[in-house]
Structure formats: structure tokens, C-alpha cells
Amino acid sequence: MNENHDIQQVIRFTVPWKADRGEQEKRNVRSFLREEHGISRSLLVELKRAKGIRLNGVPTYLDHPLAPGDTVELYLPEEKSENVEPEPIPFFIIYEDDYILVVDKAPNLCVHPTMLHPNGTLANGVVYHWQRQGISRKFRPVNRLDKDTSGLVLIAKNQYSHQQLAAVQRAGGIIRYYEAFVHGQVREDTGTIDAPIRRKADSLMERIVHEDGQWARTHYTVLGRYATFTHLRLKLDTGRTHQIRVHMSYMGHPLLGDDLYGGERMLIGRQALHARMLSFPHPHDKRMLSFEAPLPDDMATLLVAAHNKLSFR
């Protein structure tokens, strides 16, 4: 991890050798950044306007030819944290470097400010955490969780990282596994729910399965069956709002504690849903990263109590 916490970040790339001589001779700054590193056109335009592209330490232009061993640097523009006020909100850091931050979000914590929760959110805590390091950044979550859902949240620390990870996400390259407790005993050990989701007509929040909705697919695996609930592992192919909650309710097994979609709160005071695992390529060096977050106390306690009773397997 780079310990230099200057407000302006620098992204560096070294130009490698290309076996094809013709391709090597055609390579310029624009093609290198666009085709080999996936830099978006909009970011290149912004960097060009700010004179933030350098070749071997000297400001350059996009059509400048490149040779193996050259160093191309992107000087990212300084950023403000917009309307997110720094607040000392505690959160657990799983991993952090100059490009990304991965946190284990506690239940009952909003990811970002809303009209109902203008402060006291994860975003406020992250901006405060960065401020203490001398960093001024926008809060850019790559994935989002409902307020009551716990688990892993991936946050990009700059525009370049967010653009790279968003492209990976669109291509299905960010793998997410959740764990949930649902009412009743799910019969099949594995299964897939492929059902489109849209907003309910008379609600600002609630979603429903509907033929006119957006495509949504959820895979599930049974981890354990107990007297009053089933423990599931779930993998998402899409990321629709409330997707797991809607699909489980549609299947006839709403999440414990999810009273919006037919669950009851006798055993737990929020929807029993946890983002357990996250896997993705690092936005800069492309190495695969995988992270896990253990079940939070409320779900872990409920699972231990269920294990101590007769289980159905």
C-alpha cells in the first residue's frame, strides 16, 4: 500500500513489449489507456482538460507514440466529499489500499445518506476515516446493501477505480454470496429463481415479481434445515433492489424478520440477510481478491440456538 496520502492521486502504468511489431508501432497514449487499460472516454477527456496525463514525468497528449518501458501517469483531479459530512461512525475495515476499501457493514446502518437518514451512515463514517488520513474523496460504493442487511460493501477510492469496477460488475465479474435464514423448510437442496422484478405500483419502496419487471436471477443452496427456518447460501446473477427478499417471498419462504415481504420478527429484529463473500479483480493490477465476513452476532446467536435443537437434514 502506498503511504502517500496526497489529495491528488497518481495512477501509473508501464508500457510492456508487444510481439507484433506493427501493433507496437501503432500504439499511442490514447490506445494504450483505452484499449489496454479500459479507461473510459469521459475520464480521458477530463484528464486531458486538466493536463493530468504525463509520459515519463512530462505532460503529454493522447496521440503521442509509446515505446516499451515508457511510464504513463494519470493525475486524478482533486475531489470533495460532496454533501457527505464527516462523522465518527464506527465500521469494520476488511481491506484497504490506494484504490479500494472493503468494509463489513453492521446491520441497521444505511450505506449512504437519504431523506430519512441524512447522517449517521456508512458514507459519513468512511469520509471521516479518509479525512483523518488527509484524504478528500467522493464516497463511491460499488455494491449497496439495504439498511438492515449486514456484510461486505466494496467502495472505490477514486474515479478510475469506480469506472473499472463498474465495468467488471456490468460484465458479471463481481461474485457475491449471501447467507439468509428463511421461514419454513426449503425442499430442494439447490435451485434457481428466475423471475423479473419491478416496483409495486402503489409503493415507493416495495418490489414485486412481475412479467413487466427487470430480469432477475438468484441461485440458492441449503446449508441447514431447522425447526422453524432454513439456512441458505445465495448467489446473485443480477442486482435488483430487494432481489433476495422478493425472490424468497415469491418462493414462499420469506426471510426471517422481513415484515415488508411476509416475514415475522419473533426470532430476529431485522431481515436475516448477510453479504458473506465478495470476489472481484483488483481495479489496477487485476489480481483476483476474495473477502469473507462472518455472520453478525444476531444471526450467529440464532444459528447456535437452532443447532442445539433437533435439526432436519
Could you tell me which residues come within 8 angstroms of residue 139 by beta carbon, excluding any fewer than 6 positions away?
Answer: 81, 82, 84, 112, 123, 126, 127, 155
Whole-angstrom CA distances from 156 to 109, 140, 161, 163 are 19, 5, 5, 9
Active-site entry in 6, 20, 104, 146:
146
Cα–Cα dist 112/188, whole Å = 37
DSSP 45: H
Strand partners, 122: none
SS3 of residue 56 by DSSP: coil
Residues in the chain: 313
Question: What's the gap between Cα 272 and its chain centre?
Answer: 19
Residue 280 backbone dihedrals phi, psi, to 5 degrees = -165, 160
Contact between 113 and 84 (Cβ < 8 Å): yes
Rounded Cα–Cα distance for residues 20 and 162 (Å): 32
Which residues, including other chains, have CB under 8 Å from residue 253's CB and lie 6 or more apart? 182, 183, 184, 186, 230
SS3 187: coil
The cell for 35 is 484499449
Distance linking the first and last C-alpha atoms of the chain: 46
Q: Is 146 a catalytic residue?
A: yes
- DSSP annotation of 173: -
> Residue 256's closest CA among 186, 202, 307, 313?
186
Instruction: Give the active site residues.
Output: 146
